[in-house]
Amino acid sequence: MLTYRLFGASDVGRRSNNEDAFLVDPESGVLALADGMGGPPAGEVASAIFVQAVAEVFGTASPLPADAARALLQDVFRLAHRRMMEHVARYPDHEGMGCTAELLVLAGDGYLLAHLGDSRAYLLREGELRQLTRDHSLVQQMVEQGLISPAEMQHHAMKSVLIRTLGAELEPSFDLIRGRVFSGDLFLLCSDGLTELLDDGALQEILSARLTVHEKVQLLIASAKTAGGSDNVTAVLCQVDSAG
């Protein structure tokens, strides 16, 4: 039987407000993260709407079989999208609001990950770090088309332009990633305030350290702030253990 140690934290960085939001629910095995956009206060409203939708849909659920969890993922995105549209109808000056969205559900011996935007999810397994998600950004698209190199992404003038977000489309469409879970796995969900300042090598070094999940999250955020901390920084970790 697998057990989980979960922890998340967020820091405003050098911004005046925090547009990131996250949720960690050990009872249902659910982790979520969102990075808002649309300008204050619309961005922080959008991210809050998403994590509230996650809490409502999964709030009374025990760990679920994969098929049931997958149906609830779609319910979360539809509910959050509808509430954003209702919010914009009441506050027209918030038109254009939206957020990135990461939602990880641990179901039995597997996981389901819904991804939308340029926040990211990583998996550290047997000492090797792997990015599970693909950024829905203009620069990622340019890399895939061979127009720029991966190294140029980080400093490109268009790096903040997203091509898919929750709230900006008529019908939310997310990537669904699924896989097995093994004892020793470590999942990271994070906003781009972390990955813009720490490369994969730095992430792997911190995640591989002999520290608790609390200490790793705190070190990730502190390292991003030391490197500049120009954006909100949010990190959520899930350490998978065996009950014996």
Pick the CATH number of 2-242 from 3.40.50.1980, 3.60.40.10, 3.40.50.720, 1.10.10.60: 3.60.40.10
Distance (Å, rounded) from C-alpha 144 to C-alpha 139?
9
Per-residue model confidence (pLDDT) at position 60: 67
What does the angle CA 18 – CA 101 – CA 160 come to, to the nearest 5 degrees? 65
Per-residue model confidence (pLDDT) at position 157: 65
Q: How many CB atoms lie within 10 A of CB 154?
A: 12
Contact 17, 40 (CB under 8 A): yes
Task: For the chain, give every domain's residue range.
Answer: 2-242
Per-residue model confidence (pLDDT) at position 63: 65
Question: pLDDT truncated to tens, each residue of the chain (244 aa)?
Answer: 788 999 999 999 989 899 999 999 988 889 999 999 877 679 999 999 999 999 999 986 666 677 788 889 999 999 999 999 999 999 999 988 999 999 999 987 899 999 999 999 999 999 999 999 999 878 878 877 877 877 777 777 677 778 889 987 677 889 999 999 999 999 999 999 999 999 999 999 999 999 999 999 999 999 999 999 889 999 999 999 986 5
Q: What are phi and psi of 173, to 5 degrees?
A: -130, 115
Per-residue model confidence (pLDDT) at position 142: 81
Per-residue model confidence (pLDDT) at position 62: 64
CA 68, 74, 78, 80 dihedral sign is: positive
Per-residue model confidence (pLDDT) at position 195: 94
Contact 225, 186 (CB under 8 A): no
